[in-house]
Chain A
Amino acid sequence: MSAVAVIPAFNEEAPLGDVLAEIAEIDGLVPVVVDDGSSDGTAGVARNAGVACVRLPFNLGVGGAVRTGLRWALDHGAETVVIIDADGQHDPADVAALLAAIDAGAGLAIGSRFAADAGDYAVGATRRRAMRILNRLVRTTTGFAATDATSGFRAMSRPVVEYLACEYPVEYLADTVEVIILVRRAGHEVVEVPVSMRERAGGVPSARRFRLAFNFLRLLVGIAGGVLVGRRDGGRP
């Protein structure tokens, strides 16, 4: 088994079927759905499509579901792993480009909506501002000029999967942004690959702004902790 597609899914019975059908057309890619404690028929959709389904007994969040998927991929001897959303936002046609970047020697390839040559993708003002701050955060801590640090459409080499299977941060935002910093500090190459993402209802409802601020502060504390400890062991990469 060379490449595994990890598909974290929480109550995605409606879009999951189409996503699985598109993934099935990619040669040599073995999909696994991680059902993150869904209360709808998500697991049934996966089973009907003949796709392996790992069911979590309760909701662990995207980060927790991805981590479970990475461990499944390791158990099944994956050489590369690609993470694809179950809601159809990520276009399976871009998987080949992500996997090619890994074959070319990268440890982590991030599908970016905003890289040069990427398709058009509109986001609300608050989200865009938040994304810009997060991109800058990645650049100042690692020197890697991220254009889409929160993108969850990624591919990883086996050494990175082995590293992340026990280190993967499960919190929201940390599961995308902090992962880049961890992988860079572990000495792996991180690259961006332009992708076109399909639109989802954009914009942040004001009730979620507080949550975004909380998640952002939490991420800062996490990164500060990593930087502090990193310095204490004499600046190990």
Chain B
Amino acid sequence: MSAAAQITLAVVALGITFWVVRLVGLRRLRSKYALLWLVITVPLVPLAVFPAIVDEAGKFFGVNYAPALLFSLSSLLLLGIVIHYSWELSRLESRTRRLGEEIALLNARLDDAERADDGEGET
């Protein structure tokens, strides 16, 4: 890997890290999702500075083309994140449904209470 590529990767990884942490500070991103992304961007910095780590890891796992290890690892992480999102989405969906039901039931109780009040007023 050329020095230019190394520097670019390190700068991009650091940049995303700061951006994510800043979004948390601005309360635009919940810290649990930030943690998810930091798990990916933070290890990228040492990898960019010492690309030999990838080759060593490839040798250790007996992979001929070491970068393939990196690609499979990153796709696995991304797959994990997407599955996590589906799980969160399912939770949110059931919660919005519950909220809708709750409001409908509250409306019904309010109608009942108002009708009871009107009835008392007439008699």
Q: Determine if chain A interacts with chain B.
A: yes
With the chains together, A55 CA to B41 CA distance in Å? 41
Closest chain-B Cβ to A228's Cβ sits at a distance in Å of 5
**Are B25 and A229 within 8 A (Cβ)?**
yes
Indicate if A17 sits at the interface (CB-CB under 8 A).
no
Chain B residues contacting A210 (CB-CB under 8 Å) are none
**Are A225 and B99 within 8 A (Cβ)?**
no
**Are A225 and B22 within 8 A (Cβ)?**
yes
Indicate if B98 sits at the interface (CB-CB under 8 A).
yes
How many pairs of A and B residues are in contact by the CB < 8 Å rule? 48
Chain A residues contacting B22 (CB-CB under 8 Å) are 225, 228-229, 232
With the chains together, A86 CA to B114 CA distance in Å? 34
From B23, B30, B31, B38, give the contact of A219 (CB < 8 A).
B31
Indicate if A230 sits at the interface (CB-CB under 8 A).
yes
**A207-221 interface bits toward B, Cβ cutoff 8 Å, 1 = contact, 0 = none:** 000000010011101
Indicate if A171 sits at the interface (CB-CB under 8 A).
yes
With the chains together, A219 CA to B21 CA distance in Å? 12
With the chains together, A58 CA to B102 CA distance in Å? 11
**Are B32 and A218 within 8 A (Cβ)?**
yes
**Are A218 and B35 within 8 A (Cβ)?**
yes
Chain A residues contacting B34 (CB-CB under 8 Å) are 221, 225
Q: What number of B residues sit within 8 Å (CB to CB) of A?
A: 18
**Are B35 and A229 within 8 A (Cβ)?**
no
Q: Which of A218, A219, A230 has the most CB of B within 10 A?
A: A218
Chain B residues contacting A125 (CB-CB under 8 Å) are none
Indicate if B95 sits at the interface (CB-CB under 8 A).
yes
Closest chain-A Cβ to B33's Cβ sits at a distance in Å of 10
**B86-123 interface bits toward A, Cβ cutoff 8 Å, 1 = contact, 0 = none:** 00000000010011001000000000000000000000
With the chains together, A57 CA to B105 CA distance in Å? 12
Indicate if B18 sits at the interface (CB-CB under 8 A).
yes
**Are A218 and B25 within 8 A (Cβ)?**
no
**A interface secondary structure, majority:** helix
Nearest neighbor of B32 in chain A, beta-carbon distance: A218
Indicate if A186 sits at the interface (CB-CB under 8 A).
no
**Are A221 and B21 within 8 A (Cβ)?**
yes
**B interface secondary structure, majority:** helix
**A145-176 interface bits toward B, Cβ cutoff 8 Å, 1 = contact, 0 = none:** 00000000000000000000001000100100
Chain B residues contacting A219 (CB-CB under 8 Å) are 31
Closest chain-B Cβ to A202's Cβ sits at a distance in Å of 27
**Are B98 and A222 within 8 A (Cβ)?**
no
Nearest neighbor of A229 in chain B, beta-carbon distance: B25
Indicate if A224 sits at the interface (CB-CB under 8 A).
yes
With the chains together, A167 CA to B25 CA distance in Å? 12
**Are B31 and A226 within 8 A (Cβ)?**
no
Residues of B within 8 A of A (CB): 18, 21-27, 30-32, 34-35, 38, 95, 98-99, 102
9 contacts between A and B (CB under 8 A): A57-B99, A57-B102, A58-B95, A58-B98, A174-B31, A221-B21, A225-B31, A226-B24, A226-B25
User: Assuming A218-B35, A225-B22, what are 20 further A-B pairs, CB within 8 angstroms?
Assistant: A57-B98, A58-B98, A171-B31, A214-B35, A217-B35, A218-B31, A221-B21, A221-B24, A222-B24, A222-B31, A224-B24, A225-B23, A225-B25, A225-B26, A226-B24, A227-B25, A228-B21, A229-B22, A229-B25, A232-B22
The 9 closest A-B pairs by CB, nearest first: A225-B25, A229-B25, A225-B24, A222-B31, A221-B31, A218-B31, A57-B102, A225-B21, A221-B34
